[in-house]
Copies of this chain bind each other. A is one copy, B any other.
Amino acid sequence: MDKYWSTGIADIRPYMPGEQPAIAGLVKLNTNENPFPPSPAALEAIRHHANEDLRLYPDPDSTRLREAFAGVHGIAPECVFAGNSSDEVLAHAFLGLLKHASPVLFPDITYSFYPVYCYLYGIAFETVPLDAQFGVRIGDYARANGGIVLPNPNAPTGRALARGDIRRLLENNRESVVLVDEAYVDFGAESAIPLVEEFPNLLVTQTLSKSRSLAGLRVGFAVGQPGLLQALERVKGSFNSYPLDRLAIAGGTAALQDQAHFEHTRREVIAIREWLAAQLTRLGFEVVPSQANFLFAAHASHAGEGLLRLLRERRILVRHFAAPRIDRFLRITIGTRAQCELLVAALEDILQTC
């Protein structure tokens, strides 16, 4: 470490994103990107806004974008907060809503950015073990806490909770914030957004990165009652008043207005996922039931890390987490049908050889 760093900065533990190699022709199934292109209307809107108005600051409140998101979900724009990716929105939520004397609770196996925010902001946390099938047991969260964070579906497992489970959690946890991270919700899970009206302590986050095929545009949202969102506004206004550039606002708005493209592509992803799950099962994998755009799968007789390496030699990237309880597993993003067929053929080849 450098002598000039702030106190404590040597102890934070940055997130490790999946690799983004600049190698052509890779079958890239490692970072949960959508294999289908974004809405053509989004691309057209971006081109239209690539004009001299870029000399001007963007709308600090991303009003049009928030209105478009609100329109999709039938809620008021005042209940929508927008940020530069849901990672930024989550960071603001951790700092603005989850820093209390009691620890934040989240599953032991989940999005690995949650503890990273806690280290950054000095937030106490405790992890709650998933059950043996990687399911969340709602009852395990019935204890003193400074907030509860649940991704739904969970990552990297893909398992989802029903809205009724979230409701049950909220009914028994009214004194702290419940943050439901719905990055992958559109691939088959139920959103908790309809519960926001009833529960003033519910915050739901979403992103355009996955189901709207816009990981490259960095647009995320939080939904909650205005009193809750005000904490996020305060953090945003103390960090960067204009988090979304003019092109992200324009492209994101147009993407949200193209429901036909959204419905078509998300259904395709779901259909390919179900096909791939069946193929992996046939090849001897244990496949966790997924409502996300990825599968979490472990082979009965081959370690995850070895398979990752052998697939990489065949120019296919998947993701492996060297963590307790899940190091047998691979997380495989749903690609196009052709990409998934290449994966299946490669696995057949590997499993025959080894």
Chain A positions within 8 Å of B, measured between CB atoms, are 1-2, 4-9, 12-15, 17, 20, 22, 28, 31, 33-38, 42-44, 46-47, 50-60, 84-85, 87-88, 91, 95-101, 116-117, 119-120, 176-177, 200-201, 209, 213-218, 227-228, 230-231, 233-248, 251
Contacts and interface: CB of A to CB of B under 8 A. Distances in A.
B245 A248 contact: yes
Q: How many copies does the complex hold?
A: 2
Contacts of A15: 237-238, 241
A249 to B, nearest CB: 9
A217 B246 contact: yes
B85 A240 contact: yes
Nearest to A214: B54
B33 A54 contact: no
A217 B241 contact: no
In order of increasing CB-CB distance, the 9 nearest A-B pairs are: A14-B237, A37-B52, A6-B99, A2-B227, A216-B246, A55-B213, A120-B238, A54-B216, A46-B50
A155 to B, nearest CB: 15
A13 B248 CA distance: 27
Contact of A5 (B2, B46, B213, B231): B231
Contacts of A35: 55
B14 A33 contact: no
B56 A9 contact: no
A85 B101 CA distance: 33
15 contacts: A6-B98, A12-B238, A14-B233, A15-B237, A15-B238, A15-B241, A37-B52, A54-B213, A54-B215, A84-B240, A87-B239, A87-B240, A87-B242, A216-B245, A245-B245
Contact of A9 (B14, B50, B235): B235
A227 to B, nearest CB: 4
Nearest to A31: B57
A6 B100 contact: yes
A22 B47 CA distance: 21
Contacts of A4: 97, 176-177, 200-201, 227-228, 231
B58 A216 contact: yes
A224 to B, nearest CB: 9
